[in-house]
Chain A
Amino acid sequence: MSSEIKFTPEELARYSRHIILPDFNIEGQKKLKKAKVLVVGTGGLGAPLLLYLTAAGVGTIGLVDFDVVDDSNLQRQVLFTRDDIGQPKVIAAKKRLEALNPYVNFITYQTGLTSDNALEIIKDYDVIADGTDNFPTRYLVNDACVLLGKVNVYASIYRFEGQATVFNYTNKQGELGPNYRDLFPTPPPPGLVPSCAEGGVLGVLPGILGSLQANEVIKVISGVGETLSGRLFLFDAATFETRTLKIKRRKDNPLNGENPTQTGLIDYQQFCGFGGEEENLEKKPVKSINVKQLDSLIKENANIQIVDVREAYEYDIANLHGELMPKSEVTNYIQKIAKDKQVVVHCRSGKRSSDVIELLQEKYGFENLYNLEGGILAWAKEIDQTMPTY
């Protein structure tokens, strides 16, 4: 098949270091040119993935991302520069990558991957590289890949730790390897594992893991070497400890175990515990106020209490003079939270404070708590533009 692929003299010159590479050679390069790779998420992992896949000469690269470039992305998302701030990530990425390699065809999808569009987008690609940042999308990418028979090259990071493997890969002996649901049948409850926005991440770590992902993508396409299928690679950047653990398929996998029960995509927000209907029926809704309302209350000297549930190091960056009661230890402060007046609870973006209010309403019977919509970020945007954001 790959014999139909032809190269111009310029392409041959550009890829000469691959072509003279024993075992890889011109055949490997033809396979790359023929391949279609979809990179889901053009952020920390997506940046090195896209740069190396483009430089290597993958013929068609799809980019999926709904987001726009923010200054705080530049600490690790090395595809972008300050000129790209405010631009859709897929547009800024395509421009950068086209400047790197004109022999690659780029297809952009400026949207989040959802249960409604995932199969349609993924079906045209050979290999999917998952560089997303949340559990619902991880399960969505996995399930869509298993249902469509696509290889899912996976990496994930948290603070100093990274994981990488290759899911749903059929080896040269025709044996199918494990997928994400063999490794982790169900996701953690929301809140246990904070996002990078809350938990932080060492900027170079996605660079390392994303490069490993690019390496696996190229091995899957070219057939050179042994992929990470059936092995989970772990890297701790803080200690430089690495482990490679064996992972296997499980009989109870709902997609392709002995008795599959799932034949299509599902509601992944609900699967991951975000806004499940049954759960919501039992919980009291969280009341909220916006930053303009809070600003008025402060100016009126209204009798309110402001509770800040972020961590102390976040408080030091910017604060609303609230009382610091970090979410992780908020139950130690119950006595300090007023029950006889309006209490405004806030965090960075409104997520943690909402979780805290749910907990305090459910376990401690509070009825006077209000979540600050959009958190201190909304305050910095709408009320005080001099306030530092992070």
Chain B
Amino acid sequence: MAKIIIPTPLRKFTSNLATVAVKEGTVLESIKDLTKQYPELDKHLFNEEQQLRGFVRIFLGEDDIEDLEGNDTTVSQGDTISIIPAIAGGTN
């Protein structure tokens, strides 16, 4: 299994879990395994064309998957995937 770290704004869709264990394979397969477990999450991560939304980035280890092989990047046993959304808070 691999691990996906869920950011705070999306934890309301994962029963407040901060990490979820998923199947390895490709990044897309691992994330689809996550959204199979938590279907509400799917529309927040992907648009109608099933492309990743512009305010979310996916990292495998410390690398953006766009700088690897995108959705096809291989996820191995024990890897950590990070979902990083834009957050804006600061002043108020």
Contacts and interface: CB of A to CB of B under 8 A. Distances in A.
A188 B53 CA distance: 8
Interface in A150-202: 155-161, 163, 183-188, 192-193, 195-197, 199, 201
Given A160-B8, A184-B54, A234-B84, A206 B64 contact: no
A248 interface: yes
A244 interface: yes
B70 to A, nearest CB: 13
Contacts of B88: 132-135, 138, 156, 158, 193, 195
A246 B64 contact: yes
Nearest to A163: B87
A199 B89 contact: yes
B89 A187 contact: no
B18 A186 contact: no
A131 B90 contact: yes
B8 A188 contact: no
Interface in A280-302: none
Interface in A205-234: 206, 232, 234
B90 A43 contact: yes
B71 to A, nearest CB: 16
B64 A157 contact: no
A310 to B, nearest CB: 15
Give the interface size class of chain B. Answer: 20 to 34
Contact of A196 (B8, B85, B92): B92
Contact of B89 (A42, A65, A201, A328): A201
Interface string A229-258: 000101000010001111110100000000
Contacts of B90: 41, 43-46, 130-133, 155-157, 196, 206
B64 A135 contact: no
Contact of A156 (B12, B63, B89): B89
Contacts of A197: 92
A365 B79 CA distance: 47
B55 to A, nearest CB: 4
Interface in B50-78: 53-55, 57, 59, 62-64, 66-67
B92 A158 contact: no
A159 B87 CA distance: 10
B42 to A, nearest CB: 14
Contact of A184 (B12, B57, B67, B82): B57
A67 B86 contact: no
A156 B86 CA distance: 9
B36 interface: no
Contacts of B67: 246, 248
Nearest to A201: B89
Given A239-B18, A245-B59, A248-B67, A193 B91 contact: no
Contacts of A157: 87, 89-90
Interface of B: 7-9, 12, 18, 44, 53-55, 57, 59, 62-64, 66-67, 82, 84-92
29 contacts: A41-B90, A44-B91, A45-B91, A46-B91, A130-B90, A132-B90, A133-B89, A133-B92, A135-B86, A138-B88, A156-B90, A161-B7, A163-B87, A184-B55, A185-B54, A185-B55, A187-B55, A187-B86, A188-B53, A193-B88, A195-B88, A195-B89, A206-B90, A245-B59, A245-B63, A246-B62, A246-B63, A246-B67, A328-B12
Given A131-B91, A157-B90, A246-B63, 7 more contacts: A44-B89, A133-B91, A157-B87, A158-B88, A159-B8, A197-B92, A239-B18
Interface of A: 41-46, 65, 67, 73, 130-135, 138, 155-161, 163, 183-188, 192-193, 195-197, 199, 201, 206, 232, 234, 239, 243-248, 250, 328
Closest 4 CB pairs of A and B: A43-B91, A186-B54, A133-B91, A158-B87
